[in-house]
Amino acid sequence: MIFSAGLSIVGLLFVPALSAQTVSAQTLSIQTPSAQTLSAQKVELPNGWSLTPAGHSIPLSSDLPLNMALAADGVHAAVTNNGNGRQAIDLINLKQGRVTASVTIKTAWLGLAFGKHDLYASGGNDDIIIRYLLTGDTLLTKDSLVLGRPWPQDKISPTGLALDEARDRLYVVTKEDNALYVCDTKTMKVLKKVSLSAEAYTCLLNPVKRELYISAWGGRKVWIYDTRQGVLQDSTDTEDHPTDMTINRTGKWLYVANANANSVSVIDLASRKVVETLHTAMSPDAPIGSTTNSVALAPNGKTLYVANADNNYLAVFDCAAPGHSHSKGFIPVGWYPTCVPMEKACPQWPIPMALIPLHPLIMPSIKKARPLSRPPNSRCNISRICSQGHYLSSRHRPTPPWRFIPARCTPILLTQKNGSW
């Protein structure tokens, strides 16, 4: 994709740097860079805006990376590029900070799931799931699982995937025929098709209970599927356009990004009720349009990272006490973050990353936020960052003092100490 002469647009991965300092629940630590550093970091957009993303980036091979999966070795990550350019699966060596392999795929859309040695990827409108073997720094095509004939003969279009490797099961949800496919990874065959009442975005297994959660992209809810009995058991209402989900290690709390509502629904899975709705925009009266499309929990389950694509930042929440969560602030990233993965199974890589469709993968660094006395201007836009205490929780409204930080002066990085963020 070319926006202007000489400007080739590819995806990017942004990665935050770690330090020994701890970030408190009330204060973001920031590092004020020099004018020269800011100028070097600045990204000019085709619309005339400019961004100064925190952290560093890894260029990808093509455009519109929608999803990323981290391998069990804690070293590799796979990215699916689903734009107008060459569609491909990129393999990144995170220690080396570079793409080590790129496999062209005819059509791809969103779905990625790593097993111990294999990677499963959605084949989009070809209505297949492709399995790759991870070997060293490369991906080798192994085989594929056929859901149906390619579009337009059949209209299936697999989206999100969830892998239960211990039971040889792969769960696939779709957006054209609105279904859940239960598949056997030994035979690479479909065992069962379960009809859904709306388009599905992705699915997620509970780490403790035999339950699968499916975000109803076109249905304002999350379906609950009993994997033992093989039936849809229940559903929980969310706000509009639920997309990505994350769950804590104990399988008790589910966090759902609502792309058309600037929000995250926090669901108590014991009662199957929403106990809190986190508002992720910069101001409490912001109109719909932040495109809250991805969520990730820190390994300790106490910090939630939320990608707000149309605001070009990650919102950060203290969620140590679900139902009483509060905002910790924002991390500026590149243009339109689509995915913010954090793999609890990979302690070697306990930091958030942000996929940027039209620029690279980023990661950030920090010292002390200086509170200012005035509230953010009502015209506050993507060139500014503010940390506003507790107001982003649905249980709170804005209260002074406000902390207002011009983004052009303060790229923000999260830090870790002894497992705490």
CB of 415 within 8 A of CB of 22? yes
According to the model, what pLDDT value does residue 14 have?
A: 58
- Structure-model confidence comparison of residues 255 and 412, the more confident one: 255
According to the model, what pLDDT value does residue 32 have?
A: 56
CA distances from 213 to 164, 237, 247, 355 (A): 13, 12, 10, 23
* Cα separation, 82 vs 99, whole angstroms: 17
According to the model, what pLDDT value does residue 363 have?
A: 40
**Least confident segment among 124-128, 135-139, 175-179, 361-365:** 361-365
According to the model, what pLDDT value does residue 30 have?
A: 46
According to the model, what pLDDT value does residue 247 have?
A: 96
According to the model, what pLDDT value does residue 180 have?
A: 98
According to the model, what pLDDT value does residue 33 have?
A: 61
* Cα separation, 200 vs 3, whole angstroms: 32
Is 106 a residue whose pLDDT tops 90?
yes
* Cα separation, 113 vs 127, whole angstroms: 16
pLDDT band at residue 15, thresholds of 50, 70 and 90?
A: low
Q: What mean pLDDT comes out for the span 324-341? A: 89
Amino acid at 374: R
Average pLDDT score over the chain: 78
For 160-216, how does the pLDDT look when each residue is reduced to its tens digit (9 = 90+)?
999 999 999 999 999 999 999 999 999 999 999 999 999 999 999 999 999 999 999
CB of 330 within 8 A of CB of 313? yes
Is 391 a residue whose pLDDT tops 70?
no
Is 156 a residue whose pLDDT tops 90?
yes
According to the model, what pLDDT value does residue 410 have?
A: 26
* Complete domains list, the chain, with CATH: 9-409 (2.130.10.10)
For 120-130, how does the pLDDT look when each residue is reduced to its tens digit (9 = 90+)?
999 999 999 99
CA distances from 184 to 117, 164, 187, 279 (A): 17, 10, 6, 39
- Global pTM value: 0.79
Percent of the chain with pLDDT over 70: 72
